[in-house]
Structure 1
């Protein structure tokens, strides 16, 4: 009998693996229904949906392995990163999903609250937070919405043995949003692969905006990560990203 593997677990969502099946359990039934809908709309490979029940989504295991992990060097080839960029471009050119993600004003307001919390609780030095909030401003501008994945972490992109995209996981944050947010999320902690990603994406990007999103995501996620038992100060993770942004 296969053992049950807890892939990730926190108060909002839990993912279990049982043999060749992943079970995603979400405290918000509407969110997991929206995730399943986004997967059916996406024009790029995703995990096969085996079945769906209120608060539970069963997915077939993807082939291949992740493009990398935050905090660890990616050993995937340049071709794999180029393929990831091409897949993201295809997603961004697809018809918009029917729901809208947060806009720049909403993100800025939440970001300021998170920055205040980091300083008030002595989590990070005030000058580091202030400098990164200034870098983040480049991302908080008007954008033309695309079909944005919304949580395109490096571990969510699976690559097969031919350096092609086997599938992309975790569509819970998919919505209309900024294209460069996805590119920035995928290269968070891995800026050395940005050129290959852009080459596959096939369109020039504003690198100051990419850097801005690196700061936004790292500042914004820190409190949630800490409160849910994760360590943003682990080597190569969010706090190292913030430190690298201030050169």
Structure 2
């Protein structure tokens, strides 16, 4: 008999695995609608949708393994990282989806959100002021006009599966939509800068590495307080606070 495995759980959503079926429970049903829509439009391998009855989405497990995890060693070869880069480029070159995704926030909105979060990080004693100030400066390079692309919006390394050096599936599309392509590249390589060259080799386009590094700072600054409040360790080796320290 299959056991119920809690993959991730917090106040906004939870994902359970029962055998070869994943059940995502989301407090916001519009995210489930966005996820199903994005997977139908994406030109890359995605999980098979078994059924969707908000607040629950059921999908089949995908083959393969991830290339590593945030805060842990990378487990895949360079060819696997390059294959991921090629799949990301295929997504970014696809026709634009109708929705604006997480990677598509306006410069003004993102800047205001970032400033407010930086103030809270310092005021609550979660991070030293000099660390926050330095990374807020680095983050400024991401706050520029960008050509819209079909973005995943939460392309963590744990969301991309590879088998035989080919991408076999990309999961968790609830934040997908029109956005900045470099946000996806930065999210995927967060904490694994040593594989950025491999990913970009597969991606096959010139990109501004300073913008990718700026997105590392943005994502980490915006994530630290949420992670701490939801019981995650943002200060584990190789995780978000380490990424911020690397810019000092």
Deviation at 1:118, TM superposition (A): 0.4
For 1:125, the equivalent position in structure 2 comes to: 128
RMSD, matched Cα: 0.7
**Regions of 4+ moved over 6 Å:** none
- Residue deviations 1:135-191 (CA, integer Å, cap 9, x gap): 00001101001001000000100011x111010011011011100000000000000
1:202 aligns with 2:226: no
3-state SS of 1:143 partner:
coil
Structure 1: stretches of 5+ with no match in the other structure: none
- Residue deviations 1:32-78 (CA, integer Å, cap 9, x gap): 11111101000000111111111111010111111210001102000
For 2:182, the equivalent position in structure 1 comes to: 180
- Residue deviations 1:187-239 (CA, integer Å, cap 9, x gap): 00000000010000000110100000000000001111111111110111000
Rounded to whole Å, the distance in 1 between the matches of 2:107 and 2:160 is: 26
For 1:144, the equivalent position in structure 2 comes to: 147
TM-score (norm 1): 0.98
User: Quick one: which of 210, 213, 219 aligns to 1:211?
Assistant: 213
3-state SS of 1:16 partner:
strand
Deviation at 1:6, TM superposition (A): 0.5
Rounded to whole Å, the distance in 2 between the matches of 1:228 and 1:175 is: 26
Rounded to whole Å, the distance in 1 between the matches of 2:42 and 2:5 is: 28
1:135 aligns with 2:133: no
TM-score (norm 2): 0.98
3-state SS of 1:59 partner:
strand
